[in-house]
Structure 1
């Protein structure tokens, strides 16, 4: 199913998702929306990775953001956001066994990205139109850093996420929302 159809079927969790859903749906008509060559905004895919008993979340210490954060990345032309989320999670964590808990979108976000240096070149500020999936992995499987992107990969108790991330907006608007949604998923 294409992303537009998935988004149309997606029921927003809160007002942030309602607004962001409309922005992303409109942006799908833009040229190169799945490529970084669209320097204003592009589709990205993220993973909220939980352990088997839904008490921990896997995070990476991202070099660009200088913070513990979720895993994910650019689609770079791939329109299958779930596949991208899994691929990025594996690349950034070293995990080999990551499974989606559902093929459905778990969360959506329009994220601002401040201008930064990447591989010696300046990248202007832009938007990530982000699609998040709920994935699961074994917390005992060995993890590895991806030198060019992160300085660490570690499991944290869900309650620790707001203490380890240094990005207040992400804590308030994204990570707390994702943890709440996980808890609701477990109680269903």
Structure 2
């Protein structure tokens, strides 16, 4: 995958969240310094892509319960050799992990960025994921077919459930809270 379009997306990304401003600098530096930015053999980490999937009414978000990480997260994953763009990576991951076929990319701009640590698992050392996130719309009534190798559960949650952590059964991280806070911009 050519890294220049990703660098262009990152350089044009504007955010009011201080942690994302720092992530933006770090991801740009990582891409500039690493031609193997997508390869799992890069011991620092890999550029990954994920989707903040919302329903048409923008009232719900689709989350997966990740088997290895034992957390509720947005759908995403690694860049494959066949992916030409980060958009292709994200759309492929959503289709593979959820079974959803009808997807609408709401913006070609970045929705969110994050850097998070992936813990050591067997022979794979602890490393970072430099995550680019796009916002995608899907029909909440489309049949979900979760990829059983990586997913324990898949479910639509209301934005209010995700935002209201005290009443939620989810273990939400700061980046997921940030993505729900950004939803006001996309409400119809």
- Is this a same-fold pair by TM over 0.5? yes
Select which of 54, 58, 74 maps to 1:54: 58
1:86 aligned partner: 91
Change over 3 Å in CA distance of 1:133–1:160 after alignment to 2: same
Select which of 40, 59, 71 maps to 1:67: 71
Q: Structure 1 stretches of 5 or more lacking a match?
A: none
Distance between the aligned counterparts of 2:16 and 2:74, measured in 1? 19
2:160 aligned partner: 159
Q: Post-superposition shift, 1:69?
A: 1.1
Indicate if the aligned counterparts of 2:58 and 2:186 stay in contact, CA closer than 8 A.
no
Q: Structure 2 stretches of 5 or more lacking a match?
A: none
* 3-state SS in 1 of match to 2:187: helix
What is the Cα-based RMSD across aligned positions, in Å?
A: 1.5
Indicate if the aligned counterparts of 1:3 and 1:79 stay in contact, CA closer than 8 A.
no
* Cα displacement string for residues 144-164 of structure 1 (whole angstroms, at most 9, x for unaligned residues): 111110011110111222423
2:39 aligned partner: 35
Q: Post-superposition shift, 1:79?
A: 5.2
Is 1:106 aligned to 2:111, yes or no?
yes
Runs of 4+ deviating beyond 4 Å? none
Distance between the aligned counterparts of 1:46 and 1:164, measured in 2? 22
Distance between the aligned counterparts of 1:153 and 1:13, measured in 2? 30
1:24 aligned partner: 27
1:124 aligned partner: 125
Indicate if the aligned counterparts of 1:31 and 1:38 stay in contact, CA closer than 8 A.
no
TM-score by length of 2: 0.89
Distance between the aligned counterparts of 2:29 and 2:80, measured in 1? 19
TM-score by length of 1: 0.89
Moved more, 73-82 or 141-150: 73-82
* 3-state SS in 2 of match to 1:2: helix
1:11 aligned partner: 14
